[in-house]
Structure 1
Amino acid sequence: MMGVVPGAVNPRGERLAGPLFAAIGIAVLVACTIWAAAGDYVGAVTLVVAGLSAAWLLLLVPLFPRRARHPWLAVGFFAGLLAGAAALATLSTTYTAFASVAYPIAFVLFAARWSVFAVTATAVIPLLAKGIWGTDASAPGWVYVASVVGPMLYAAWFVGAENDKRRRANAALAEANARLETALEENAGLHAQLLTQAREAGVHDERRRMAREIHDTLAQGLTGIVTQLQAADRASSAESRHRHLTQVHTLAKDSLTEARRAVQALRPEPLTDSRLPDALAELARRVTDTSGVAVTAETSGEPVPLLPELEVTLYRVAQEALANAEKHARAARIAVSLTYAGEVVLLDVRDDGTGFDPASPARGDGTGFGLQAMRQRVRCVAGTFALESAPGEGTAVNVQLPAIPADR
């Protein structure tokens, strides 16, 4: 019985059930005593046992709300109740009806599977005691109806009520499941709409970013080239003209480098002919070859082609995280982990470098799109970005994106 919840009673019933069943038991006991006194002499022993049984029933009031926490007290109370009923049944057959009070008490005092044993004991013990020690061999017909038919009808009603309760619970569960499925479908539609809006916002953000890049690099470089050419035309000596033309050459070379970098930032070439796991593995090999840092790339789960925006985001974040670790962290090992986990895809980039304080101003040499830009890029595709680092403890970049297939 330990760990089993007793018969379910609603919160209001918890307050009323104990007094109610105690009152019903005492009322039945008084009725049996009056009926027995009307038919024959009721001795002092019978009255004493009846009084003790009535007092015992009053213990149900404080016991009932504690029956789940103290199940053995409930067993002791029920055993005492049956003992009183059996003793009264041996003294007068009329008290057999009093034993019937134990049937409803058994159903509410114990859990369903244990109430079966309590009901069986209620049916057997008083009749068995009366057959062994009883002196009255005759009893009115209603006594047998109350002690046999009545409990059977109550048990049938109880089983039917439990079945109705289960049917209602199953119907409510089915309705809740239907509502949940509808909510999931609506959520999927809203998520797709959110991703579309985020994609559009990402396009605008990317255009603004490219505009800033062109203004800060190509436009300024071309302006410098024009200025130096004009200065060369006005130069009064060959040496001065040569110096300006050298600066033109440097500015043109730098501008060409910036132009190539800007074009490459628009579309990762490794993703055009390869799947994302292969592209990340190739990126790791390339960084290892160029920097000497040991970079590993692992993929877990079942890889599925994702929307291009999602794969580009994951690739760019990995690319920038590796570049930062290579340039600033002075790491000896870098691990790239791509995980396909059902509804989401996870990217982790961890290094054993010097680390830094994330709360301090970000450092950089102007290349790449930086930590803030990584966050914005991830946010534009409805993902989450997390960064963990501390001085001397390396750096970990974590990205989580919705795993939306490419054919959706």
Structure 2
Amino acid sequence: MGRRVELDWRGSLMPPVATRPGDSPMPWHYWFTRGETLTSFLLLVLPTVLSTTLTDRPSGYRPATLAVAAAAAVWLVLRAVLLGTPAREHPVFTAVHFAGVLPLAAVLQSRDPYFVLFMVYAYFAAMRMRPMPLAITGVALTSALINTMSNGGPIRALADQPWIWLTLMLLQTVAIGGGGAVFAAVGRQNEERRRTLERLAAAEAENRGLQQQLLVQAREAGMLDERQRMSQEIHDTLAQGFTGIITQLEAADQARDDPATRQRHLRAAAALARENLSSARRSVEALHPEPLDAATLPEALAGVVDRWSAQTGVPATFSATGTVASLHPELEATLLRITQEALSNVAKHARAGRVGLTLSYMGDEVTLDVRDDGAGFDPAAPPADEGGFGLPGMRRRAGRLAGTLTVESEPGGGTAVSVNLPAVPAATLESTHHEGAPG
């Protein structure tokens, strides 16, 4: 790929040059520059051909004209050789180039009116100069010479009819210089717009990368959370259950002489074993958000709400608003887990008569609201959660995905929990895997 050139329009009436399409941020700029260079040679070659073939001049006149035209051609070639180099756009170079073009064009026009065509190119050379007052001065000098060289030069013209020539030069200078200034202003706006779009594209790419990194970190943190939860689950249920089973079996062994007592201890041990088996199955099922395997997120949440309501006997409703979109699996799993935990908290602490859940898709954000009409509590002193995964756990889950969790409650006034997460689309899943995220 070609080099990137930062275009600097400040103080000039024309855009800077570039040598290859890859050098210019905009394709039109390359062709504009090439067209300007080609035009300069055409404006010199055409009057040279016309002057040497169509005019009747004394002997020795044509060779002198051709010599001056050749000098002008060499001057243009030197500029073309420097095409795209930093020196070409340097203010000193543009001033020197104009200082060479203007006298050569003036001499040629004085020798033959056809060369007024080449004098037109002096306007382009003048508008390349910086700062802008110098460019305007160059335009004024070109206007003075292009209008008078075929009539004896500016001194004679101004001596004969000064107001006519001064008015003509002023109008041309204002028209050409003003047009160049407008062109340069539009160019500056376009260049600034291009740079802004590039910055936005870079920021968007960086944001996508941060989102992918965030999701990878959230997945790793989620795995750690699940390990901690399983550890707590084993300690709080399975380990205690096995301890109870061992205690009952030991008691049964000691009651060999009392069949009724021995049978009672054995039945208690069997009941504890069945309860532990159920707890183990629930723990395994909790490792993966199974409701999301064959359903959309709203469908999965609606199923969770319906099952919870059937188990607890508390009426619960679910609704989804906005345009449903497929989100990154980590986001959907987090919203499902938070829903389950929020409902678990309601069952444990709220003594609610009614519960409502709303999932809202809002463009680049997704929000989950859980409301109940239960006992409420003081948010500064939330109820203790035996498993350690209540409000703090939900807040950690949301925070790992650059989200927020807010709680509004008061004693006797019910509770409202709101979770807000960035709506990262499912399309980022593939790129996340490419970054080497753990599966």
What TM-score comes out, normalization by structure 2 length?
A: 0.54
In structure 2, which of residues 257, 265, 269 is the aligned counterpart of residue 248 of structure 1?
A: 269
Say if 1:331 and 1:353, in contact at 8 Å, map to a contact too. Answer: yes
Q: Identify if the C-alpha distance between structure 1 residues 326 and 225 changes in structure 2 by more than 3 Å, giving closer, same or farther.
A: closer
1:258: which partner in 2? 279
Classify the secondary structure of the residue corresponding to 1:273: coil
Distance of 2:321 and 2:229 partners within structure 1: 33
Unaligned runs of 5+ in 2: 1-159, 430-439
Given that residues 198 and 380 in structure 1 are in contact (C-alpha distance below 8 angstroms), is that contact kept between their aligned partners in structure 2? Answer: yes
Instruction: Look up the match of 1:199.
Output: 219
Q: CA distance change for structure 1 residues 350 and 361 in 2, over 3 Å: closer, same or farther?
A: closer
Q: Over residues 98-130 of structure 1, what are the superposed CA-to-partner deviations in whole Å (9 max), with x where a residue is unaligned? A: xxxxxxxxxxxxxxxxxxxxxxxxxxxxxxxxx
The answer as to 2:243 corresponding to 1:226 is no
**2:384 matched to which residue of 1?**
363
> Aligned partners of 1:201, 1:324: CA distance in 2, in Å?
22
Aligned-partner residue type, residue 393 of structure 1:
G
Residue number in structure 1 paired with 2:404: 384
Return the alpha-carbon distance in structure 2 between the equivalents of residues 344 and 144 of structure 1. 69
The answer to whether residue 338 in structure 2 is matched with residue 317 in structure 1 is yes
How many Å separate the matches in 1 of 2:378 and 2:176? 72
Distance 1:351 1:158, change over 3 A: farther
| C-alpha contact 2:407 2:416 (8 A) present in aligned 1 | yes
Question: SS where residue 384 of structure 2 aligns?
Answer: coil
Match of 2:209 in 1: 189
How far is 1:286 from its partner?
3.1
**Among 306, 317, 329, which residue is 1:308 paired with?**
329
Aligned residue number for residue 177 of structure 2: 157
Cα RMSD (Å) of the superposition? 3.1
- For 1:313 and 1:264, how far apart are their aligned partners in 2? 15
Output aligned runs, 1:110-125, within 5 Å.
none
Contact 1:195 1:382 in 2 (8 A): no
* 1:144 CA drift (Å): 7.4
Q: Match for residue 433 of structure 2?
A: none
Deviation at 1:390, TM superposition (A): 2.2
Output the CA distance in 2 between the equivalents of 1:202 and 1:385.
17
Whole-angstrom distance in 2 between the partners of 1:361 and 1:403 = 29
Deviation digits for residues 350-407 of structure 1, max 9, x if unmatched? 223332112104234x469311222223334443322222223322222223333335
User: In the TM superposition, what is the alpha-carbon distance from 1:299 to its structure 2 partner?
Assistant: 1.4
State the alpha-carbon separation in 2 of the partners of residues 291 and 230 from structure 1: 36
Letter paired with 2:197: N
The verdict on how the C-alpha distance between 1:260 and 1:204 changes in structure 2, with shifts beyond 3 A counting, is same
Letter in 1 for 2:234: I
Distance in 2 of aligned mates of 1:390 and 1:260: 36
Deviation per CA, 1:136-180, whole angstroms, max 9, x where unpaired? xxxx97677778864774465345324312311220221121122
2:401 is the alignment partner of 1:401: no
Distance (Å, rounded) in 2 between the aligned partners of 1:274 and 1:379? 25
Partners of 2:244 and 2:313 lie apart in 1 by 36
* Letter in structure 2 aligned against 1:325: V
Distance 2:336 2:304 in 1: 9
Q: How many residues align?
A: 269
Deviation at 1:195, TM superposition (A): 1.0
Cα separation, partners in 2 of 1:290 and 1:207, compared to 1, 3 Å: closer
Selected match of 2:296 from 253, 268, 275: 275
Q: Does 1:339 align with 2:360?
A: yes
Q: What letter matches 1:266 in structure 2?
A: L
Q: Deviations over 1:335-354 (max 9, x none)?
A: 21112233332211122333
Q: Is the 8 A contact 2:350 2:375 kept in 1?
A: yes
- Deviation, structure 1 residue 293: 3.5
Q: How far apart, in 2, do the equivalents of 1:339 and 1:226 lie?
A: 50
Letter of the 1:157 counterpart? G
Deviations 1:216-261 (A, max 9, x none): 2212211221233123213364155345335424432432332232
Q: Structure 1 residues 235, 292: closer, same or farther in 2, change over 3 A? A: closer
Please identify, of 248-257 and 218-227, the stretch whose mean Cα deviation from structure 2 is larger: 248-257
Distance 1:148 1:353, change over 3 A: farther
Following the alignment from structure 1 to structure 2, what is the Cα–Cα distance between the partners of residues 155 and 333?
77
Aligned partners of 1:368, 1:267: CA distance in 2, in Å?
19
Distance 1:142 1:237, change over 3 A: farther
Determine the C-alpha separation between the residues in 1 that align with 2:313 and 2:162: 99
Q: Which residue of 2 aligns with 1:82?
A: none
Please give the alpha-carbon distance, in whole angstroms, between the structure 2 residues aligned to 1:337 and 1:190. Answer: 28
Structure 1 residues 310 and 251: alpha-carbon distance in aligned structure 2, compared to 1, 3 A threshold: same
